[in-house]
Chains A and B, each alone.
Chain A
Amino acid sequence: DAGVIQSPRHEVTEMGQEVTLRCKPISGHNSLFWYRQTMMRGLELLIYFNNNVPIDDSGMPEDRFSAKMPNASFSTLKIQPSEPRDSAVYFCASSLVVTGGSPLHFGNGTRLTVT
């Protein structure tokens, strides 16, 4: 079990550039979540998918943010154009939702720095 794989681990970019973060969930999991961690706001839920369909994107801060899940094994989070306030650690997590409190399995995150 390789776990949730995120790439890149670190991303440094200039303001105005497009940033794409990638996530490969655990095989067989049917839900995928994108979170952002900052000192001020902790772990914020940005968007989550169930069976590749976006269920709730109310946490996506602005239209500059978009997320896709073209198939069960891949998701992207894109920021275009990026701004310094987007600097944070972005986590992807997946779970097998059947019933009950199915725990999330997190990747190790992408640390984004926008200068």
Chain B
Amino acid sequence: DQQVKQNSPSLSVQEGRISILNCDYTNSMFDYFLWYKKYPAEGPTFLISISSIKDKNEDGRFTVFLNKSAKHLSLHIVPSQPGDSAVYFCAAKRRDDKIIFGKGTRLHILP
């Protein structure tokens, strides 16, 4: 039973355009949502997070939007750069600090 779902295994975006990565969750007990970025042969690195009481958080080129009624969040990257090509994981944290990840979306930034 997947509690955090990333339904797009991959996404290709032209350099300079906006990349939108989506994530859905099924459990209302999550209090934080996080996005991680992963390059090959490295561990995931933290990108940005959002509290369940907020609907938007922005950090430079990265913005995360949370729609609680739809149990949906998205990560927007604008403008997309070649170095953004990586696998992006959506994660959700429960109040007991358990953190559950989605399967990831591979983002390709095209020149």
Which residues in A have some Cβ–Cβ distance to B below 8 Å? 4, 31, 33, 35, 41-45, 48, 50, 55-56, 91, 93, 97, 100-101, 103-109
* Interface residue from A4, A56, A91, A107 paired with B98 (Cβ < 8 Å): A56
Q: Mark B6-49, 1 if CB is under 8 A from A, else 0.
A: 00000000000000000000000001111010000111111001
Query: Given A48-B98, A56-B98, A101-B93, A42 and B103 touching (CB < 8 A)?
Result: yes
Give how many B residues have a beta carbon under 8 Å from the other chain's beta carbons: 26
Which residues in B have some Cβ–Cβ distance to A below 8 Å? 31-34, 36, 41-46, 49-51, 89, 91, 93, 96-104
Q: Which residue of B lies closest to A107 (CB)?
A: B43
CB distance from A72 to the nearest CB of B (A): 16
Query: Given A101-B32, A103-B34, A42 and B46 touching (CB < 8 A)?
Result: no
**The 9 residue pairs across chains A and B that have the minimum distance between CB atoms:** A106-B43, A42-B103, A101-B32, A103-B46, A43-B101, A101-B49, A106-B44, A108-B43, A97-B97
A101 contact set on B, CB distance < 8 A = 31-34, 49-51, 93
CA gap between A4 and B33 in the complex, in Å: 22
Query: Given A45-B98, A48-B98, A100 and B51 touching (CB < 8 A)?
Result: yes
CA gap between A88 and B12 in the complex, in Å: 26
CA gap between A82 and B89 in the complex, in Å: 28
CB distance from B105 to the nearest CB of A (A): 10
CB distance from A27 to the nearest CB of B (A): 17
CA gap between A55 and B96 in the complex, in Å: 9
